Structure 1
Amino acid sequence: MNNPEFDSQKEIERWKGFFSIWTDPEPAVGPTPRTAVWKKNKAALWYYPSSNKKYKVPLFLVYSLVNKAYVLDMAPGASMIEAFVENGFDVYLLEFGSPAFEDQDITIDDYIIDYIQRAVRKALAHSGAEEITVIGYCVGGTLAAIYASIAQEPIRNLIICVAPIDFSDSPKFDQWVEYIRENDIDIENLMRLNGAIPPKLMKIGLRAASSPIYFSHYLSLLNKAYDKEYVASWRRFNKWTNDHVGFSEAAMLQLGNDIVKENKFMKNTLTIRGKKASPSNICANLLVVAGKHDRLVPDVLSKGLADVVSSKDKTYCPVTGGHTTMAVKGKGLPKFLADWLPERSN
């Protein structure tokens, strides 16, 4: 008996779209025009000029050490950077690159002083601006917050997105963090892997943190594989989730010991090259954004930052969505930024 609801042509297109992820060339990413204005080692500072500049204060984006930054510029209509420039902001993006064996001694101190601080100074000089807005994503948000606590540069606004900062009360990580603390686990011996944590190992670790939901995205693809635009978007995002970068051994050890195990930043005991890195040193206008359903970095890991800074203008903003909520957007700024950023940028 025939099923009147069965559409044979649609089913053919569905399966063609599903299998195309293994047969068609990978879709392009990073469409927004940019120019490198500064480089150091494997890092680059990219400049995205706005053709419709409205705001004097440029944006300086610090992305994670774990993933590649093109998630912020996936495709036309699905790019946070495109949304910024089309809404009148000049944008600078610091991309760290992927460390190799020769980079094994790069520490968190190095990333903050030699990379972030120097790049901010370059962005200020290049733009001619008197102040700057720093936006940090994920571990880049952790570094951005620490940098802001020791910065001599004029940071007007600090935006921290889905960043792991406060490990004093972390339901997602409490079991393994407490195990490390109580059993005095030597993180250094666990991390001795040829100078840099290889991308494949980073991928395995993040997959473990996000299980058991990882394979559900294939079911989502199959459900809408007849839609070419959806398939292209899915493939771009899937490319990014598989495209991890390595991690410097020294930076991983320091991050594990000082930030996760000892929670030094939030306890006001962290020093960066002799400078006390305390959240109370932060005076910039502060916006802390967290994903209500973020499995990788639960909101509790960042919401406490707003309570301990010295900023008079500070906002904690939980938003619906997961870890990439702030990365892939259309041409309009998401509401939490549209309501907060423009009035603080002139």
Structure 2
Amino acid sequence: MSVELSFKDLVSEFDYEKEMNRWKHVYQLLNEPEPKIGHTPRTEVWRKNKSVLWHYPAKQTKYRIPLFFVYSLFNKPYILDIAPKASVIEGLTNRGYDVYLLDWGTPGHEDKKIGLDTYIQKYLKTAVKRALRHSDAEEITLVGYCLGGTIASVYASIAEEPIKNLIVATVPIDFSSFAGPEKWAEGLKNGDFNVNRLVDVYGNIPASYVEAMFRAVSAPIYFSHYTTLLNRAHDQRYVDKWRRMNKWSTDQVSFAGEAFRQLSNDFFKENKLVKGELIVGDKNANLKNIKANMLVVSSSNDNLVLESQSLPIMDLVSSEDKTYKLVDAGHVSLALTGLLAVVVDEWASTRSNPL
């Protein structure tokens, strides 16, 4: 028995008015003023060059040990305070923690000689000292996100300051695996991609290059969110989140040339951190030196930092109290939704000397 189907049966009727309204709404959204970010009250504690240490006071202090956030050098840290009720920092201050955040700032051409050694020994180390003094605390909890977690781990391995807890989320530690195109990794490790030449020519890695790199690594996801916006332009709650995320993902910063050279050669190419061969200043940044209580958080849907890049730190540190947690989130949504605040609080609340 055969059934004849008309073209109208196969293709839904085109609603011209609905589609015009949809595209009109999207056009308006893309041309509205950028959304406001950074809602949680804060004060400046210390400043060095382009970097600023911010203090976000607890609404009602419940813990003696403050949290100190170290974010990536690739992006701006306001993803941690992106919107009311979805802010990691707001969530933690509401839960009774004093929070400090080191904003690295955007390096200018005059900063091209700043390396990771300088960032760690001259900026991060000093900022932690200032936070300890400002909070009148005897110990501190370091919280590192993405590359900020790598930097926090390196610092913790050589720090003389009293770090009681170390929390790292979506952190690349083992650079033998790579989320981007395999040819990139091969080219870097084989010397086909000359990072030294790139840095010598540009000084700093331009922000547009950083954005292009993340576009390539996360494609097609990076582009498909425009399609999702078109489909959900009527959902104001979704649109608000989309606009904040889109602002952050396109608001890249340049990367200090010498720091990028060291990151590329010592971490990506030579994988010195995992091998215990990384030297910072005149110190061996061996992860076995870390004895602080440790929490490692990975995201199951992370398309930038693989779980296999984070897991090795669990065996490399000497911490007796160490926890690994895999959460149902993406690399960015862990912060964008404020979920990280819940994860941190669940673990840190019993390790932060409750009042």
TM-score (norm 1): 0.93
CA contact (8 A) 1:86 1:331 kept: no
Report the CA distance shift for 1:39/1:171 in structure 2 as closer, same or farther (over 3 A). closer
CA drift of 1:25 comes to 1.1
One-letter amino acid of the structure 2 residue matched with residue 318 of structure 1: L
Q: Give the equivalent residue in structure 2 for 1:148.
A: 156
CA deviation string 1:113-146 (max 9, x = no partner): 1111100000000000111100011111111010
Q: Give the equivalent residue in structure 2 for 1:272.
A: 280
CA contact (8 A) 1:63 1:141 kept: yes
Q: How does 1:1-346 map to 2 (within 5 A)?
A: 14-170=22-178, 172=180, 175-183=183-191, 186-330=194-338, 333-334=341-342, 336-346=343-353
Whole-angstrom CA distance in 2 between matches of 1:9 and 1:174: 46
CA contact (8 A) 1:17 1:228 kept: no
CA deviation string 1:212-248 (max 9, x = no partner): 2211101111122112222122111100000000001
CA contact (8 A) 2:297 2:326 kept: yes
Q: Which 10-residue stretch deviates more, 226-235 or 85-94?
A: 226-235
CA contact (8 A) 2:215 2:222 kept: yes
CA drift of 1:23 comes to 2.3
CA drift of 1:10 comes to 7.4
Report the CA distance shift for 1:62/1:330 in structure 2 as closer, same or farther (over 3 A). closer
Higher helix share: 2
Whole-angstrom CA distance in 1 between matches of 2:181 and 2:130: 37
Report the CA distance shift for 1:22/1:271 in structure 2 as closer, same or farther (over 3 A). same
TM-score (norm 2): 0.91
CA contact (8 A) 1:37 1:46 kept: yes
CA contact (8 A) 2:334 2:340 kept: no
Q: Which 10-residue stretch deviates more, 169-178 or 184-193?
A: 169-178
CA contact (8 A) 1:16 1:226 kept: no
Any unmatched runs of 5+ in structure 2? 1-7
Whole-angstrom CA distance in 1 between matches of 2:21 and 2:97: 40
CA contact (8 A) 1:155 1:284 kept: yes
Report the identity percentage. Answer: 49
Q: Give the equivalent residue in structure 1 for 2:5.
A: none
CA drift of 1:174 comes to 5.3
Q: Which 10-residue stretch deviates more, 222-231 or 14-23?
A: 14-23
CA deviation string 1:51-78 (max 9, x = no partner): 2111111000011101111111111111
Report the CA distance shift for 1:182/1:233 in structure 2 as closer, same or farther (over 3 A). closer
Q: Which 10-residue stretch deviates more, 191-200 or 206-215?
A: 191-200
CA contact (8 A) 2:181 2:217 kept: no
One-letter amino acid of the structure 2 residue matched with residue 316 of structure 1: Y
Any unmatched runs of 5+ in structure 1? none
One-letter amino acid of the structure 1 residue matched with residue 346 of structure 2: D
Whole-angstrom CA distance in 2 between matches of 1:228 and 1:343: 38
Which secondary structure state, in structure 1, belongs to the residue aligned with residue 86 of structure 2?
coil
CA contact (8 A) 2:179 2:305 kept: no
